């Protein structure tokens, strides 16, 4: 009948799953790119302002008061007297030329600063030149030697101080520019307050840019056939060949006066024209035949005319004072010495010779024909460009006189420095020819070699002890009085005896 029996397992595969695996497909889709942008908007600036009036009840109370009693009667009574006095004052000349000065007057000469570079002073260097920048805030001084007549290779420097600096240290210059040889003269650019031209004992001429702290040398002559072969005693800025440019004029003791153009991009000074002073080509006046010296005329001082761009004056070692012209076309009678330009003879007129070297010259800033000169004879002479002899001679010192400058604000005032370290200030408006003021600098009798007035009416004096004193003169020496220009014109028109 029935019994247990084990049968084999029977499996049935799914045909549906297999069909689904074979028919699988991948599909994808993507929307269009979405573009976005940002924009801002800003409302206008809104300002609120308000005003307030007095309350209505107060306005009604502010009423003009009636005339004080008797005022109209008083005005009518004095009207005739006041009118007569006003008419009288209008016709009076009692206050002609009077100007009200609301500034407190400086009654005494005071020393504002005593500047110096300790390292240069320890080495015994002297201040051989000073110059103010065009703003009148920075003073530059050259350190060198005047008492050494032989060739010197001693290192030196140029120092600057900014007097407007709040924490001015008179014994710490703002900038020290080292040089290979002593510096004999410096001159700030008349328009660019950072440029300084200098002349060295070696004969080189250098232009420094004080705004460049890494390498202040902007341009230099170097040692070449065109370079001076003697110490350079004067450097001046003069108009260049192109409008707006300024060139550097240098003069040396060998009688050469050279004009250099500044090529800052190449870092050099290029010689554009040159002049040579030769004794045989100097016009001889009746009083200049006593001058001494060899063939060449050594230049010790030079000044430019502020009235005539073609004229300049030269002082020499032999005591000659020469009027010269840049436009001269006369060929100098000197043998060629390798210069790249032909040298010309600039001398046009010779003034009366002095007893020794002429150390300093300066044109009057108030009269085109007047200049002052000083030298080793201890005298200051006022000259007219139209006469060979001096109009006026004053004894400044029994020693040498090394520098002189006309006041930039007083037509009749000039100052000079002496070999005894004194500053002598003269006022030609006085009847006496003695100094109007004598400033003792307490330098122990050491000489003062140079001086310069600043645009701010300060006087800088460079001394042999390595110091630069900044003086503020009194109102008597800086405030112009009436009729000064008239007196100066009368002096210029006088005939020399």
Give the range with max mean pLDDT: 47-51, 279-283, 417-421, 429-433. 417-421
In what helix (H) or strand (E) does residue 86 lie, and over which residues does it extend? Answer: helix 71-91
User: pLDDT tens-digit profile of 450-470?
Assistant: 999 998 889 999 999 999 999
Inter-CA distances, 133 with 39, 262, 402, Å: 55, 19, 22
Q: What are phi and psi of 434, to 5 degrees?
A: -80, 160
CA distance 244 to 143: 31
Looking at residue 339, what is its pLDDT? 81
pLDDT at residue 327 tops 70: yes
Map tokens 């008492």 to a residue. 147
Backbone angles phi, psi at 15, to 5 degrees: -75, -25
Per-residue confidence (pLDDT) for residue 17, from 0 to 100: 61
206 compared with 212, residue with greater pLDDT = 206
Higher per-residue pLDDT: 40 or 340: 340
Q: Are strands 343-344 and 268-276 parallel, antiparallel or unpaired?
A: parallel
How far is residue 349's CA from residue 283's CA, in Å, rounded to a whole number? 6
Is the pLDDT at 417 greater than 80, yes or no?
Answer: yes
Domain ranges of the chain: 121-408
| Mean pLDDT (the chain, rounded) | 85
Q: What percent of the chain has pLDDT over 90?
A: 56
Give the architecture-level CATH label for domain 121-408. 7 Propeller (2.130)
- pLDDT tens per residue, range 149-191: 555 678 999 999 999 998 899 999 999 999 999 999 999 999 9
59 pLDDT more than 50: no
Q: Note whether 263 and 246 are within 8 A (CB).
A: no
pLDDT of 185: 95
Q: Is the pLDDT of residue 4 over 80?
A: no
Give the model's pLDDT for residue 170. 94
317 three-class SS: coil
Q: What does the pLDDT average to over 346-354?
A: 91
Can you tell me the distance from the alpha carbon of 400 to that of 450, in angstroms, rounded to the nearest whole number?
Answer: 12
How far, in whole angstroms, is CA 131 from its chain's centroid?
6
Give me the pLDDT at residue 291, please.
Answer: 47
User: What tens digit of pLDDT does each residue of 261-312 get?
Assistant: 999 888 899 999 999 998 888 887 644 444 444 478 889 999 999 999 999 9
How large is the average pLDDT for residues 360-373? 95
Q: What are phi and psi of 190, to 5 degrees?
A: -70, -15
Other beta carbons less than 10 A from residue 120's beta carbon: 21
Cα separation of 217 and 180, whole Å?
Answer: 13
**Do you know the residue count of the chain?**
497
For the chain, state the CA radius of gyration.
Answer: 41
pLDDT digits (tens, 9 = 90+) for 237-263: 998 877 778 899 999 988 899 999 999
- Give residue 44's pLDDT: 63
pLDDT attached to residue 483: 85
Band of residue 21 on the pLDDT scale cut at 50, 70, 90: low
Distance CA 1, CA 423 (A): 161
DSSP 343-355: EE--EEEE----S
Residue 108: the pLDDT is 80
Residue 62: what pLDDT?
45
* pTM of this structure: 0.76
Q: Which residues neighbour 80 within 8 Å (Cβ) at sequence distance 6 or greater? A: none
- Picking from 282, 296, 255, 297, the residue whose alpha carbon sits closest to that of residue 347 is 282
Q: Report, as an integer, the average pLDDT of 103-111.
A: 70
Q: List residues bridging with 239 in a β-sheet.
A: 246
What is the arithmetic mean of pLDDT over 350-376? 93
Q: What is the mean pLDDT of residues 73-93?
A: 89
* Residue 78: alpha-carbon gap to chain centroid: 58
Backbone angles phi and psi of 123, in degrees to 5? -85, 5
Task: Specify whether the CB–CB gap between 207 and 248 falls below 8 A.
Answer: yes
480 or 3: which leads in pLDDT: 480
The pLDDT assigned to 55 comes to 56
pLDDT above 70 coverage of the chain, percent:
83
Please give the full DSSP string across 195-259, using - where no structure is assigned: EEEEEETTS-EEEEETT-SS--EEEE--SSTTS-SS-EEEEEEEE-SSTT-EEEEEEETTSEEEE
- Average pLDDT for residues 387-412, to the nearest whole number? 93
């Amino acid at each position: 009948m029935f019994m247990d029996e084990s049968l084999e397992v029977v499996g049935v595969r799914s045909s549906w799953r297999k069909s689904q695996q074979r028919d699988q497909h991948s599909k994808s889709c993507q929307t269009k790119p979405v573009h976005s942008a940002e924009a801002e908007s800003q409302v206008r600036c809104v300002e609120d302002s308000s005003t307030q009036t007095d309350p209505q009840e107060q306005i009604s109370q502010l009423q003009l008061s009636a005339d004080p009693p008797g005022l109209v009667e008083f005005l009518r009574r004095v009207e005739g007297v006041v009118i007569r006095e006003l008419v009288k004052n209008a016709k009076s000349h009692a206050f002609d030329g009077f100007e009200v000065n609301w500034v407190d007057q400086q009654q005494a000469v005071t020393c504002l600063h005593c500047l110096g570079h300790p390292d240069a002073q320890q080495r015994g260097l002297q201040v051989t030149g000073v110059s103010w920048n065009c703003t009148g805030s920075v003073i530059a001084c050259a350190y060198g030697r005047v008492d050494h007549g032989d060739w010197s290779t001693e290192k030196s420097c140029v120092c600057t101080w900014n007097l407007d600096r709040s924490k001015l240290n008179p014994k710490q210059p703002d900038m020290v520019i080292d040089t290979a040889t002593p510096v004999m003269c410096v001159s700030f650019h008349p328009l660019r307050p950072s440029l300084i031209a200098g002349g060295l004992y070696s004969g080189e001429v250098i232009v420094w840019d004080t705004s460049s702290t890494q390498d202040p040398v902007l341009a230099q002559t170097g040692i070449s056939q065109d370079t001076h072969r003697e110490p350079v005693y004067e450097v001046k800025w003069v108009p260049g060949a192109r409008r707006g440019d300024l060139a550097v004029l240098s003069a040396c003791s060998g009688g050469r006066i050279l004009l250099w153009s500044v090529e800052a991009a190449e870092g050099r000074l290029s010689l554009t024209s040159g002049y040579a002073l030769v004794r045989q080509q100097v016009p001889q006046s009746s009083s200049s035949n006593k001058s001494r010296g060899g063939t060449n005329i050594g230049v010790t001082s030079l000044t430019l005319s502020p009235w005539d761009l073609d004229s300049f004056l030269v002082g020499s070692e032999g005591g000659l004072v020469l009027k010269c012209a840049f436009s001269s076309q006369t060929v100098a009678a000197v043998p060629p010495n390798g210069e790249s330009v032909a040298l010309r003879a600039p001398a046009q007129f010779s003034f009366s010779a002095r007893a020794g070297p002429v150390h300093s010259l300066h044109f009057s800033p108030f009269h085109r024909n007047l200049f002052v000169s000083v030298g080793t004879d201890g005298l200051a002479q006022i000259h007219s460009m139209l006469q060979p002899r001096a109009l006026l001679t004053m004894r400044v010192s029994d020693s040498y006189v090394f520098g002189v400058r006309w006041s930039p604000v007083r037509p009749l005032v000039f100052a000079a420095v002496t070999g005894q370290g004194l500053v002598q200030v003269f006022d030609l408006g006085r009847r006496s020819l003695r100094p109007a003021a004598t400033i003792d600098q307490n330098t122990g009798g050491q000489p003062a070699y140079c001086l310069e007035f600043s645009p701010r009416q300060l006087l800088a004096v460079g001394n042999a002890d390595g110091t630069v004193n900044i003086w503020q003169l009194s109102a008597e020496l800086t405030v112009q009085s009436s009729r000064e220009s008239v007196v100066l014109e009368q002096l210029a028109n006088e005939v020399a005896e």
